[in-house]
Structure 1
Amino acid sequence: MKLRTTVAALLLAAVVPVAAACGTTAEAASTSTSTSTSTSTSTGDTGFAGGGRGGPGAVDVSSVTTEEELVALVQEAYGDAGLDLHRGHQPVQDVLDEVLTISHDELHVRMDAGQNLAAVAEDLGVDPQTLVDALVESWSPAIDDLLAAGTITEDEAEQYRAALEEAFTFRVTWDGEEATPTFSGLDA
């Protein structure tokens, strides 16, 4: 009986952090709710749904109304290295579901076995660039909206799209070792 209790405790200790990262616990949901109402743009607290911690819900690209928020969105695209290969995939889960066509649980099994998103895609016969392109496309409306509002120029919009592609390429191909770059905006 003691062995079963110990094994159960170990499993719970391993599962709860991953479940929280994917937004499958009530605590993660309440954390995301309070985070998503914030307007701070500090690392890990971007003010977007998911709050930079991989909480429930997708990033709401329609909420980006300033260039500062766009910079935070690009940084968010890199993911959170503190969540290992998962990198807080919940904000991009809809795209992962659509492109990879596997369940969230299967994705976890593969990532827990050491596969990054590129390896998962390749195993499924999907070119990792297809995944990167879909991720960029899903977050590009934030750039388009700022361009349409006159907040950024066409040249700046292209630079932000390139930065978003670089960030998502990093996220998809992350080897588990390389430090996450910091995106602080376009170079002057």
Structure 2
Amino acid sequence: MKLRKTVAGLVLLGTLSVAACSADATEAAQTTSTTSTTSTASGSSTTGSSAAEAASGTAFAASRGRGPGGGVDVSSVTTEDELIALVQEAYGDGALDLHRGHQPVQDVLDEVLAISHDELHVRMDAGQNLAAVATDLGIDPQTLVDALVESWSPAIDDLLAAGEITEEEAEQYRQALEEAFTFRVEWDGEQAEPTFSGIGT
């Protein structure tokens, strides 16, 4: 009887871990806020977004996590504000522990690491971050970072082709995306998540 309870508990724990990953994109879309806080000389004030900004932000948030294989659909990025949000999302979500939310990058993790999602969770539950998992598998963590950057770079290329950003700005966004994914791969569970508010800020 005790053995059955232990097995049932382990199965439930595994189910909850997988459920947490699959809920990442949905939760991110549901928690999108349409207010922003700005600092002034006399303090800070909170202002509501315009209807157009709110609609654009909500549409983009809803589209995240819905690309091929459940990943981020980089083709949904049509403005620089959406690109900024995409770079911020590349950092992942620290509330989701070491994996920081696999769903938006699961296809790349599958391809580069070549292990199952469940095995990845077992390794992370044992305290390994993505860099440690890669190293343990004989893969240079930079290879994983490069693959992640490459998978989301089409969003930058599309804005460059549309004339929304310059070549110089595109390169700065690529560097920002690399910094974000490097943070995600190397995160030790302690570092505070940076806030990306655009290039030159």
TM > 0.5 fold call: yes
Counterpart for residue 40 of structure 1: 57
More strand by share: 2
1:46–1:73 contact (8 Å) kept in structure 2 = no
Counterpart for residue 20 of structure 2: 21
Q: TM-score, normalised by structure 1?
A: 0.81
* CA distance in structure 2 between the aligned counterparts of 1:124 and 1:48, rounded to whole angstroms: 33
Q: Offset of 1:18 from its aligned partner?
A: 1.8
**Secondary structure of 2:171's match?**
helix
Cα 1:10–1:169 change in 2 (3 A) is same
2:90–2:180 contact (8 Å) kept in structure 1 = yes
Q: TM-score, normalised by structure 2?
A: 0.76
Deviations 1:22-60 (A, max 9, x none): 21xxxx39946975xx7436xxx8333338xxxx71000
Q: Which of these residues, 148, 154, 159, is aligned with residue 167 of structure 2?
A: 154
Q: Offset of 1:179 from its aligned partner?
A: 0.9
**Secondary structure of 2:71's match?**
coil
Give aligned-pair identity as a percent. 75
Q: Which residue identity does 2:19 align to in structure 1?
A: A
Q: Offset of 1:152 from its aligned partner?
A: 0.3
Q: In the alignment, is residue 64 of structure 1 matched against residue 64 of structure 2?
A: no
* CA distance in structure 2 between the aligned counterparts of 1:119 and 1:5, rounded to whole angstroms: 32
Q: In the alignment, is residue 95 of structure 1 matched against residue 82 of structure 2?
A: no
Q: Which residue identity does 1:152 align to in structure 2?
A: I
Counterpart for residue 65 of structure 2: 50
* CA distance in structure 2 between the aligned counterparts of 1:29 and 1:47, rounded to whole angstroms: 12
* CA distance in structure 2 between the aligned counterparts of 1:34 and 1:75, rounded to whole angstroms: 14
Instruction: Give unmatched runs, 5+ long, in structure 1.
Output: none
Count of aligned pairs between the two proteins = 174
Larger Cα Rg: Structure 1 or Structure 2? 2
Q: Which residue identity does 1:49 align to in structure 2?
A: R
**Secondary structure of 1:176's match?**
coil
Counterpart for residue 130 of structure 1: 143
